[in-house]
Chains A and B, each alone.
Chain A
Amino acid sequence: MTDLSWIDPLLSAARPQAMGALLRYFRDLDTAEEAFQEACLRAVRRWPVNGPPRDPAAWLILVGRNYALDEVRRRSRHESLPDEAAISHTEDAEMEMAERLDNSHYRDDILRLLFVCCHPELPVTQQIALALRIVSGLTVKEIARAFLVSESAMEQRITRAKRRIAAADVPFEAPGPQARAERVATVSAMIYLLFNEGYAASGGESHVRAALCEEAIRLARLLLRLFPGEPEVMGLTALLLLQHARLDARLDASGNIVLLEDQDRGLWNREMIAEGLVLTEKALRHGRPGPYQVQAAIAAVHAQAARPEDTAWAEIDRLYAMLETMQPSPVVTLNRAVAVAKLRGPEAALQMIEPLAAKLSGYFHFFGVKGALLMQLDRPDEARVAFDKAIALANTPAEAAHIRMHIERLLERHAARSAPPSAAAQATTALPTGRGSAG
């Protein structure tokens, strides 16, 4: 076989379990990583010859562990390693044993691997970068590109993060139920932030950002395979799938943001939506709703509307109200206001968001929504002020361009004022009716 592309997915799929076990043995991220790298190099040499092992993760764990142990011995004795042929021979002899490697720890191993990346002392961006490097196995170059920093800066960031973890106290004993649940919640939060990093597009090339979303979905599915009965993990996975399903519809050909209600719903990924809906329903059956499940349910309502006007806004309002009690936040209220605008009109929505002004004074979407509501209420001067603030706070050129489009419409409308009434009426019906955030 000359085409070796089949090996990569095998190595990637085995990575979390193998790295998790190696971290448990060596209690050191660098040693575990080095051992895994070496095991992968040997896999690439041996698997095309002997065929892949029945349990790639067990193979990599064993070979990686032996390599690292030899390495420790060699360093302590200042001796050289036995030659390659001798090692390869032991590898094959020990494959039998690899089949019998204790698999009972693997769930906690993978969870620990994810969890060490989320150490509370690490800033969120470092947590995400570390998880992408350690768990997903992305190269430093790939991660640097996603975060728009130089490769050396990212290298430094990851090295610093590892050093902090090495200095911190990482619990290696198997966690109790309470501690395990806490770890799942911490890891879920990191996966959610990773997805947002890709979704919100706070800069960078769009395909790079999409790769971050895909990686987040991969990690969510990994966590769900470990905890198949955990409703919040189902909710998280569902939420990410339902949001990512809209990827191709969210930007137009020239890279402009397309609002949810203006999106071509034929571009939505039906397979992802179907999976997201199944997971949402499965989660809600448990009767233990949480923030991810409710957000997934909101995304599910949007996904099920064939046309924007079919959206069940009352249901969305009810779900946001639920989310407000679970996770009170001005951003949640802002989103609820969009549903309220649909149900009870822009005046009610504006009243709802006005108390948020102080807390959201630095939030792009607040001024986007406010401007749109003021436009609907025919208060163009105040709308203009809100839109100008939004532009000043925009995170990406696409966000700024989107608001400029609103302003242009505002100016057209202003110009239409002096034109015959029919033209003015036309301009008014063309106005967007809400939702300042991208769909």
Chain B
Amino acid sequence: MLYSVLIYASEAVAAARSRQDDEALLARHLALQRELAAEGRLGAVVRLMPTTTATTVRGTNQSMVIDGPFIETKEQLLGLYLVECATLEEAIETARRIGQCCRTPDSGALEIRPVSWSRLDVPRGEAP
């Protein structure tokens, strides 16, 4: 089954990281992505821009356009992985590997959400 692993952490903390630490973190993620791709399990990887770039459309007739994220939280959705996993056990194991790339012993969390269905033909995503 295809699972999504949603990465939540404080974007304020992410912004406070030094440039070297940020580059090291990206390198760890890229290495993991190569591994998962070699295992034939990697679906897609998404890194989201800060919530300051977010726009929320809400209301029954979607008439209200609000700047900012849907809800104010201490942790924000920073990005996500789509990974093929045979079992939940494997998904948890994969989430741990992703967590090791993030190295967030702080308030960060990874939410595992099985994917009901997906379309993965992304028109244009820029590789790091």
Contact = CB atoms under 8 A, between A and B. Distances in A.
Partners in one complex: yes
Interface of A: 1, 5-6, 8-10, 12-14, 51-52, 54-56, 214, 218, 221-222, 224-225, 228-229, 234, 237, 270-271, 274-275, 278-279, 282, 285
B126 A282 contact: no
A229 B106 contact: no
A229 B107 contact: no
Instruction: Name the residue among B12, B13, B19, B106 with the largest chain A CB count within 10 angstroms.
Output: B12
Given A13-B12, A270-B126, A274-B49, A282 B55 contact: yes
Given A228-B67, A228-B68, A282-B67, A10 B53 contact: no
B23 to A, nearest CB: 13
A9 B13 contact: yes
Interface in B47-94: 49-53, 55, 65-68, 74
23 contacts: A1-B105, A5-B21, A6-B103, A8-B16, A8-B18, A9-B21, A10-B16, A13-B15, A13-B16, A52-B105, A52-B106, A52-B107, A55-B74, A221-B50, A221-B52, A228-B67, A234-B52, A237-B52, A271-B126, A274-B49, A274-B126, A275-B49, A275-B53
B53 A282 contact: yes
Nearest to A9: B16
Contacts, number: 70
Interface of A is mostly: helix
Contact of B49 (A55, A56, A222, A278): A278
B105 A51 contact: yes
B109 to A, nearest CB: 11
B104 interface: yes
Interface of B: 10, 12-19, 21, 49-53, 55, 65-68, 74, 103-107, 126, 128
Nearest to A137: B16
Given A229-B67, A274-B126, 18 more contacts: A6-B103, A8-B16, A13-B13, A14-B12, A52-B107, A54-B107, A56-B107, A221-B15, A221-B50, A224-B52, A225-B52, A228-B51, A228-B52, A271-B128, A275-B49, A275-B50, A278-B53, A282-B53
A279 B106 contact: no
A229 B103 contact: no
Contacts of A54: 74, 107
A254 B122 CA distance: 41
Contacts of A275: 49-50, 53
A227 B43 CA distance: 36
Given A10-B106, A52-B105, A218-B15, A229 B50 contact: no
